[in-house]
Structure 1
Amino acid sequence: MYFVDRSVAVIKPKAPFLAWLNAVPDNDMIELSLDALRADCTVILLPEFDEPEEAISHIDEMYDKLFRIELSSWYEDEALWPQDRSLKAFWEWFDVEVHSTLLDTVDADIMNSPVDVDED
């Protein structure tokens, strides 16, 4: 087991995200509950930080990409996305849990690949 020189953040959808999902036209999904939506969330690696506020500032800098990732994981058609994707809207739509300790329990190299989300 190894300490990793990163922090983590868990991006958890809130009620406005759920309302958007359930209001998408021609939505053929079963109606989700907020608990179900928050049960399996996106986790991102962050730089190590001394204060939680530093992690929040880092998220503020990349909120647009995170917002896009969350929306595109449900619908790739940007015409279905909400018009207001401001920083304020991000924090209204998502809770963010920040954790300062990350342990790697796998004795193998981490494989990664870039996330492809178009930016305006």
Structure 2
Amino acid sequence: MYFVDRCVAVIKPREPFVAWLNAVPGNDAELSLESLRADCTVILLPEFTDPEEGVACIDDLYDKLFRMELASWYDDESLWPADRSLKTFWEWFDVEIHSTVIDSVDADLTNSPAGFDE
């Protein structure tokens, strides 16, 4: 096992995200908060010594993260909420920041663009 020179943030939907998702026209499935929080997005962040640095990093990335979370459900941006401010991001998502990342795989990492760099 190897220490990785990154930290991580786990992006967890909150009730307002679930309410939006369940209100999208044509969505026939009633999704629960519990089901959405069971498998969440994990973002690698630069290493930091103070947890507030991780929060600041999320603040810098919030627009991309917000768009990524919405696009993972609907590509049609006309269905997205109009208010995608930093305040709304923090109301719609909990973010867990962790400073230790360990790679348990004895192979090189492979990187590819996520496609959300708009």
TM-score by length of 1: 0.96
Deviation at 1:117, TM superposition (A): 2.5
Aligned counterpart, 2:49: 50
Residue 9 in structure 1 maps to residue 46 in structure 2: no
Distance in structure 2 (CA, Å) of the matches to 1:77 and 1:17: 16
Deviation at 1:116, TM superposition (A): 1.3
Deviation at 1:81, TM superposition (A): 0.2
Aligned counterpart, 1:62: 61
Helix, strand or coil: the match of 1:10? Answer: strand
Distance in structure 2 (CA, Å) of the matches to 1:93 and 1:46: 20
RMSD of aligned Cα (Å): 0.9
**Gaps (5+ residues) in structure 1?**
none
Sequence identity percentage: 74
Distance in structure 2 (CA, Å) of the matches to 1:80 and 1:87: 19
**Gaps (5+ residues) in structure 2?**
none
Helix, strand or coil: the match of 1:91? Answer: helix
Residue 25 in structure 1 maps to residue 13 in structure 2: no
- Tell me the number of residue pairs that the alignment of Structure 1 and Structure 2 aligns: 118
Helix, strand or coil: the match of 2:94? Answer: strand
Distance in structure 1 (CA, Å) of the matches to 2:49 and 2:117: 32
Distance in structure 2 (CA, Å) of the matches to 1:97 and 1:27: 29
Distance in structure 1 (CA, Å) of the matches to 2:68 and 2:54: 19
